[in-house]
Structure 1
Amino acid sequence: MAAAQFTTANVSGRGLPIFEGLKPSTVKMAAFVPLRPGLSQRSFRPLVVKAATVIAPKYTSIKPLADRVLVKVKEAEEKSIGGILLPSSAQTKPQSGEVVAVGEGKMVGKNKVEISVKPGAQVVYSKYAGTELEFNGSNHLLLKEDDIVGILETDDIKDLKPLNERILIKVAEAEEQTAGGLLLTEASKQKPSIGTVVAVGPGALDSEGKRKPLSVSAGDTVMYSKYAGNEFKGKDGSDYIALRASDVMAVLS
């Protein structure tokens, strides 16, 4: 029996999903089947896979239910701060957008809690949250309110207004040298898990739907879990992280 022959010629690297910018992408794949005599690679049509759910044009609106929020995603930056064009692989996946519609809220105990963001607000959300949608020719995200990190009142992350039990922290600078005075290379610098609290949210909801104040305040120097939260770069070049209060391990003084 003749050995089975497989081909990967029809797999297009350019069609692989690109997460930067949440731009709808396609993956072109050919079925991997043995080629029989007389059949060419052109006999197989590529399979097209959409990364985002496409809403048909006949639907003109989306109404989120319960505590869900519909966000129109901000386009990915195509240039660096210095004006250099970025390839798709280097473009930062956006974590911000404009609230388009909100649900009616949720029940906590016997009380109904309304959603704390309104249509038109500019928000920042968790990196891998929600369901991606292509609607009215634009990229959208349908997510829960709890996946929203905070409201952007300016275009700089340092002015983020955290929601619920989230905290915004300005990360401390990495140590440039060891205790013995040896200079550290960029690769050997330890990622800091200490920073200064810039802003805090109103607190988490208790079983009755009331807010519980957080145990840290703006100005506190804190230590937090090393791999927690969402990291951001401020316009001043400083590093910021937004995380939940439960990820803060200690207050330093």
Structure 2
Amino acid sequence: MATSQLTASSVTVPARNFVSFDGVRPLAVKFASFGTVRPGTLCQRSFKGLVVKAATVVAPKYISIKPLGNRVLVKIKTVEEKTDGGILLPSTAQSKPQGGDVVAVGEGKAIGQTKVDPSVKPGTQVVYSKYAGTELDFNGENHLILKEDDIVGILETDDIKDLKPLNDTVFIKVAEAEEKTAGGLLLTEAAKEKPSIGTVIAVGPGPLDEEGNKKPLSVAPGNTVLYSKYAGNDFKGKDGTSYIALRASDVMAVLS
């Protein structure tokens, strides 16, 4: 049977040659160079490069997990399956949780000759960075093991506005996007520029210096600040207010 040699560094293959995926409709798909490929086999074989990342499953014979160093084990909050009005959400619309309860903590970290204890304890409800840590399936429940530095703050209520930032985290109420242009034209939602200005609501105690002492941050609650446009983690309050939590180093200026 004749074969086709694909020798270019990359090739463009029309999307009609592939199995369709819900919600994904590419015009064309590019692949790195192949060896010999028989016609008609691209849509019949699975691709080794297509990997679905899943949580690491901890075998039932292990009954406990002890984090090391400055790592923290968190039991992930259950994903909401319904809206407040009771409407069932499809899996694609369910927001990935960014919070949970601390189950166990490591022994802390050393800075120079100083040993620093963890700033959270088992039972504390925390919020963490969106893509932090490694997910674990432990005792049939979803957990996350992550570094303490990836914890954004402590949340003792169900509303993100009450977040207490940790370390060098700054918690900001985002300014509302402009509704009109300078000429008075109304803007659609898609045309509204993402704001990068907001009011500081709360700040963490600051990072540690080489002697293990806290270094106060250069911004304070009440400051209006300009921050990096694509930094931090976005949150919505129960009333729809937009917030962002980011590192103090991502705050570029104080406005007055």
Question: CA distance change for structure 1 residues 90 and 34 in 2, over 3 Å: closer, same or farther?
Answer: same
Q: Distance in 2 between matches of 1:163 and 1:13?
A: 41
> What secondary structure does 2:161 align onto?
helix
Specify the SS of the correspondent of 1:60.
coil
Change (3 A) 1:50 1:174: closer
In 2, Cα distance between the equivalents of 1:158 and 1:138? Answer: 27
Among 48, 64, 67, the alignment partner of 2:67 is: 64
1:236 aligns with 2:253: no
Write the deviation string for residues 127-159 of structure 1: whole angstroms up to 9, x where unpaired.
110011000000100000000000001110000
Q: Is 1:135–2:129 an aligned residue pair? A: no
Residues 1-253 of structure 1 mapped to structure 2, 5 A cutoff: 1=1, 51-253=54-256
CA contact (8 A) 2:2 2:38 kept: no
Q: Could you report, residue by residue, the CA deviation over 1:79-114 in whole angstroms, capped at 9, with x for unpaired residues?
A: 123322110011100000100000000100110000
Please state how far the C-alpha of 1:185 moved relative to its aligned partner: 1.0
Cα distance, 1:34 vs. partner? 7.0
* SS in structure 1 of the partner of residue 190 of structure 2: helix
Instruction: Kindly state the Cα deviation for residue 123 of structure 1 after the two structures are TM-superposed.
Output: 0.4
Task: Look up the equivalent residue of 2:183 and give its one-letter code.
Answer: G
Q: 1:115 to 1:12 in 2, by over 3 A?
A: farther
Deviation at 1:202, TM superposition (A): 0.1
**Structure 2, gaps ≥5 residues long:** 5-18, 23-36, 45-50
Distance 2:189 2:86 in 1: 24
- Could you tell me the percent identity over the aligned residues? 78
Q: TM-score, normalised by structure 2?
A: 0.81
Q: Take 1:237 and 1:199, find their aligned partners in 2: how far apart are those partners? A: 19
Report the Cα distance in structure 2 between the residues aligned to 1:236 and 1:76, rounded to whole angstroms: 19
CA distance in 1, matches of 2:53, 2:243: 33
Which deviates the most, 180-189 or 219-228? Answer: 180-189
How far apart are the structure 1 equivalents of 2:164 and 2:122? 16
Distance across 1 between alignment mates of 2:239 and 2:170:
19
Distance in 2 between residues matched to 1:223 and 1:77, nearest whole Å: 33
Secondary structure of 1:158 counterpart: helix
Q: Write out the 4+ residue segments of structure 1 that deviate beyond 6 Å after TM superposition.
A: none
Write the letter of the residue equivalent to 1:218: P
Tell me how far 1:49 sits from its aligned partner: 6.6
* Counterpart residue identity of residue 125, structure 2: Q
SS at match of 1:211: coil
Secondary structure of the residue aligned to 2:218 is coil
Instruction: Give the aligned CA root-mean-square deviation in angstroms.
Output: 2.5
Kindly tell me: are residues 251 and 50 of structure 1, through their superposed partners in 2, closer, same or farther at Cα, counting changes over 3 Å? Answer: closer
SS at match of 2:249: helix
Task: State the secondary structure of the residue aligned to 1:93.
Answer: coil
Counterpart amino acid of 1:116? S
Deviation at 1:3, TM superposition (A): 5.1
